[in-house]
Amino acid sequence: METTEIGRRDFLKTVGALGSSGLLLTAFPWLQSFAADNQKALKGEKAKLAIIGTGSRGMYHINNLLNTRQAEIVALCDIYKPHLDQAAALCPKAKKYSDYREVLASPDVQGIIIACPLHEHAPIAIAGMKAGKHVFSEKSMARTLDQCKEMYDVYKQTGQVLYIGQQRLFDKKYIKALEMVHNGTIGEVVGLRNFWFRNNDWRRPVPEPSLERQINWRLYKEYSGGLMTELATHQLQIGTWALKSIPDYIMGSGDITFWKDGREVYDNVNVIYHYPNGVKMTFESIISNKKYGMDEQILGHKGTLELAKGKYFFEEVKPAPGIQQLINQIEHKVFDQVSFAGPSWVPETASEDNGEFIVDKVKTHDGSNTTGAAGDGSEELVASFCDSVITGKPIPVLVEEAYYSSVLALLGLKAMEERSIIEFPEEYKIPYLNHA
């Protein structure tokens, strides 16, 4: 996979070229970590970090950190030795641990990156902040609603930096797309659609039976919320980000229909989030068919954004060439003459407009320009965390965005499990934008 090589100044320049960087900093406060004001404080310094959880996601973060050159990885921690040894090969100077509490006791560690199974996120993050460490935790925020709230409360109480692995908040095409939403480019938002389709069983090979739940933790309710906490949490943040509000009620359905292999979590889900203004946001996921892939779509009365594809479409497209207009008129005339028990009927067909790219060009590591949606914000996210560890400055709104995406995922799961309509519980509401 090619990674985008964009520094803090280049990042703002790239996005700012599409609109006022001052406006972007106001609209997306987490970008302040890239601002030039921090450069003196950051010059020559590196964040001293520990990686807790060195499986596939932990290794991904290690590689991104090595690319940014803004971190010194001083400690590695994992209870599974093969993963620990794999990470140590990339970070030979880092101390190795099997107990995260020893990591938190180390004076050499400024910040921790948590890439463990979901049920461990909150306990380690809470202990880390109370120990005076800055914390980056993978999404979802926590396994339960109460853990999410406790994690948020400790963040507010301690004043420590807290990041959650919602890389879309640092993805150039998403940032520009949401600016287009907020400045009215696509008109009034009338619907949001999220879907994630894949075709694999999510199961990993197990060297011995005793490791089944440790390795395949995503398949068991004790450790995971399945598709909602592993996939939906990425996409559900679009609702809060776009509408600046939270749903008033949620409904959904989930089942195990194909992968009947002893797993406890659903292999297909459908959820509807109803907002006070009548707009609905949907999430759908099936993991036994990959035809339609994944995307987040924001529908406005003037246009549509396809965020994962990095494209936008307007409702009123450019006029077709003369011959095409003639063909369309003939086709409509034919259908207009056919009566279907009332007014004449014209087929409603999807637009064939190819759309435009939200971000036209992004420079890749080899210096070339690539069109469209390069990079996903992951490297910018860990670079920003390094900045925050060095400066000690939390990023406003970033935690609140991640909190609500996790809570919405868990409320959707609750609605499915209880087969009921769930009102958004008052006890899990936190101050954020216009619903303080």
Q: Is residue 2 part of a domain?
A: no
**Sole residue written with tokens 């060439």:** 321
98-126 average pLDDT score: 98
- Tens digit of pLDDT for each residue in 31-48? 665 555 555 556 678 999
Asked if 162 and 226 sit in the same domain, the reply is no
Kindly report the CATH number assigned to the domain that includes residue 60. Answer: 3.40.50.720
The pLDDT score that the predictor gives to residue 372 is 45
Instruction: Judge if 104 and 249 occupy the same domain.
Output: no
- pLDDT tens digits for range 54-99: 999 999 999 999 998 899 999 999 999 999 999 999 999 999 999 9
Indicate if the pLDDT at residue 1 is higher than 70: no
Give the Å distances, CA to CA, from 183 to 27, 178, 375, 432: 10, 9, 24, 20
Spatial CA neighbour of 147 closest among 121, 111, 116, 112 = 121
Report if residue 130 sits inside a domain.
yes
436 token code pair:
């303080």
Residues 261 and 408 in one domain: yes
Instruction: Specify if 336 maps to a domain.
Output: no
Helix extents (H) in 159-266: 172-182, 212-215, 227, 233-243
Q: Is 27 helix (H, G, I), strand (E, B) or coil?
A: helix
Counts of helices then strands in the chain (DSSP H, E): 15, 17
Q: Is residue 45 part of a domain?
A: yes
The 10s digit of each residue's pLDDT in 42-65 is 667 899 999 999 999 999 999 999
Contact assessment for residue 387 and residue 38, using Cβ atoms and an 8 Å cutoff: yes
Please give the model's pTM, rounded to 2 decimal places: 0.86
Please indicate, yes or no, whether residues 362 and 391 belong to a single structural domain of this protein: no
Same domain, 144 and 202: no
- What are the tokens at 218? 């995503």
Q: How confident is the model at residue 349 (pLDDT cuts 50, 70, 90)?
A: confident
Are 34 and 108 in a shared domain?
A: yes
Q: Are residues 35 and 18 in the same domain?
A: yes
Any idea what the CATH number is for the domain that residue 203 is in? 3.30.360.10
Same domain, yes or no: 361 and 225? yes
Closest CA to 273 of 73, 173, 382, 421: 421
Whether residues 150 and 195 fall in one domain: no
195 and 161, same domain (yes or no)? no
Is omega for the bond preceding 210 within 30 degrees of 0, making it cis? no
Both 363 and 390 in one domain: the answer is: no
**Whole-number Å distance between alpha carbons of 339 and 209:** 66
Residue 341 lies in a domain: no
pLDDT surpassing 80 at residue 230? yes
**CA angle 54–59–61, rounded 5-degree value:** 110
Q: Is 344 part of any domain? A: no
> Mean pLDDT across the stretch 145-161?
97
Look up the domain containing 47 and give its range: 8-169+376-395
Question: Cβ contacts of residue 314 below 8 Å, gap of 6+?
Answer: 186, 302, 303, 353
